[in-house]
Amino acid sequence: MKKIYSIIAAVVCAAGLNAQTLTQANNAPIVSDVYQTVDCTTVGINPGGNGPAQLYNFSTLTVLTNTSTNTGVTVASTGSASTYPSAGVSIQTGTSNAFYSSTASSLLYWGGNIKVGGQNVTMAYTSAAPFAAYPMTLGTTTSSNVAGTNTSVAGAGTFTGVCGVTGAGTGTLMLPGGYNFSNVIKIATTAALSFTTPFGPGTYSKNNYDYYSPLSKYPLFSISNETITSALGSTTETVTLINNNYKTVGISEAANQTLSNVSVYPNPAKDNININFNNENAENASYEIVNVLGQTVRTQNIPVVKGETLYNLSLNGFESGVYFVKLSVGNKSSITKITVQ
């Protein structure tokens, strides 16, 4: 059965996780994993500082609409088992694959398809790149000399270089919509490669930053900076991706539960629900309803009434299932799980 890493699965395993430690059990990809990412704007992006007690504020980024589904599949199913004999799993995104193997002490990257600007390259490592050194905590670092073959429109060649990974920082991650995550760890991976092609040599460099919450197997947010220089020219590209499930993961963060005396009823509900709360300072109020995939299905302002407020909303058009109602009053919020029948 495929595993979609929603808040339901995350809450079940959270009790066994160290908030700032990645292990094979809670981090290494396996066959049947499924998660989605969505592109974000990259203007003014900054990965933030290193060390403890950092604030990684990406709350003003715009989340775009192009969604990618990432699926853990067997290496044999990709048709590339002979090219990646040491890999145990591939994360497949569209027609692209990234190949990995893991043990209790490491996660290794064996290559796959990369695209920087208009240049498509297939990398096959004979000496793998480190992607994690378990247990991965703040300050954990490792690097390795790597080598392999590359294939592109320029033809086939070879590459050598150095790749590394570091537990670079810990702290609080802020994402759009007021979703904040404590105890995150920022993992920095680097690559500096030199390669050959029939048309001459080239270089490839990468600086990647992934931000992990203890409640999510895959990173909630990622920044990738890549540069490739070859006979075809030089191209630099920055990509930012947000985990499509970040809203439901954020629902379990205790820091969001700052409004008291909020009730949402009936629950289970069928045709409508009531939101009852006290707006003692007559502040702006709104609600957002999120499904278990992290998708916002409705958001709306609530008329400002000083004091006790009772707001009724229709559930017309809602499919049966579990939803989360996020009530925001001023700079405070509260989240309630409801079931629609």
Task: Kindly indicate the confidence band of residue 13, based on its pLDDT and cuts at 50, 70 and 90.
Answer: very low
DSSP 267: S
Within 10 angstroms of residue 175's Cβ, the number of other Cβ atoms is 24
Specify whether the CB–CB gap between 80 and 92 falls below 8 A: no
Q: How far apart are CA 112 and CA 72, in angstroms?
A: 14
Could you tell me whether strands 96-102 and 106-116 are parallel, antiparallel, or unpaired per DSSP bridges? antiparallel
Residues of 79-96 as b/e, b for ≥16 C-beta within 10 angstroms?
ebeebbeebbbbbbbeeb
Candidates 204, 191, 193, 137; CA nearest to 164 is 191
Query: Which parts of 83-219 fold into alpha helices (H)?
Result: none
Query: Which parts of 127-234 fold into alpha helices (H)?
Result: none
Q: How far apart are CA 267 and CA 14, in angstroms?
A: 26
Q: Output the pTM of the full model.
A: 0.75
Task: Kindly indicate the confidence band of residue 252, based on its pLDDT and cuts at 50, 70 and 90.
Answer: low
Q: Average pLDDT in the 138-159 region?
A: 94
Residue spans per domain, the chain: 3-248, 257-340
pLDDT digits over 48-104, tens only?
999 998 989 999 899 999 999 999 999 999 999 999 999 999 999 999 999 999 999
The CATH number that domain 257-340 falls under is 2.60.40.3080
